[in-house]
Chains A and B, each alone.
Chain A
Amino acid sequence: MARMKFLCDAERCIECNGCVTACKQEHEVPWGVNRRRVVTMNDGVPGERSISVACMHCSDAPCMAVCPVDCFYRTEEGVVLHDKDICIGCGYCFYACPFGAPQFPQAGAFGMRGKMDKCTFCAGGPEKDGSEAEFRKYGRNRLAEGKLPACAEMCSTKALLGGDGDVVADIYRNRVLTRGKGAEVWGWGTAYGPGGKPQGAPSAAESKGK
């Protein structure tokens, strides 16, 4: 098996936040914690693009590298998980993560930072699969149920794909070939446009005229 990966098709994402809602509902994620969120670039400008972002389950995860108590581990399927019984809520992982995936619930009267919470690829955590303790700390373990992450399975436009990296890549490749759009649909060019100018953003002259 290859590694479990997410892929968000920026051509298809309609910023419906269905993935965010599915994740919240599936794992009963507390208020203030967003394991997944939708980011829109050039919002309101023709040609805007949205992508759904959560933990990317990095192959060389910076959060694992900086954790002072070594509470992170990577499963055989390439999912980055952590043990909440060891986490001290220091927030180093939040600073290290380039995607802002680690979340910290506000706990207590003084808004104290709780233990880190993040996307688990619906793989639970280091507790008995499907147990009450696992659900309370990490949410549902859909992988143990033979299911894929709720966000990907609930995506109405199938912009968000999740699963074995090879299968996801095959689906995406097939899609790109069918619709006839290739390299420009994902990557630097889409995000920042050619020559560093955001795609669809008004030029300097246009902005001045407004």
Chain B
Amino acid sequence: MKTRTIASALFVAAAAALAAGCSETPQDAALTAGKYQGKPDTHPWDGEAQVFAGAEFKRGDKGSWEAALKSRSQAQNEYVRIQQ
């Protein structure tokens, strides 16, 4: 009687294992856009004044920084530099 119970339990377990093999779970990796995990960075126009400051701009003012960089960029244009 005991042997029969064990045998039937084994049979049920084996059948369950076999049945599990028939099922299929999705194995494709979900492609999700990564999110930056590091420390936050500050904008170059924010923060304290730098020791080796180049073009003058008002700290915290993005427009001022952009204008300063734009004017400095023109130093790369010798057609403008030579005419000055």
Chain A: residues with CB nearer than 8 A to chain B? 1, 64-65, 67, 69-73, 75-77, 81-83, 85-86, 123-130, 141-148, 152-153, 155, 158, 161-164, 167-168, 171, 174-175, 178
Contacts and interface: CB of A to CB of B under 8 A. Distances in A.
Interface stretch (B1-9, B10-18, B20-28, B48-56): B48-56
Interface residues of B, number: 37
Nearest to B38: A83
Interface in B44-66: 44-48, 50-57, 62, 65-66
A126 B38 contact: yes
Nearest to A152: B76
Given A73-B36, A167-B73, A171-B76, A145 B41 contact: no
Nearest to B47: A129
Contacts of B69: 143, 146, 148, 163-164
Q: Which 9 A-B pairs have the closest CB atoms?
A: A83-B38, A146-B55, A147-B54, A70-B34, A143-B44, A163-B73, A126-B39, A126-B41, A73-B36
Nearest to A144: B44
B72 A148 contact: yes
A144 B73 contact: no
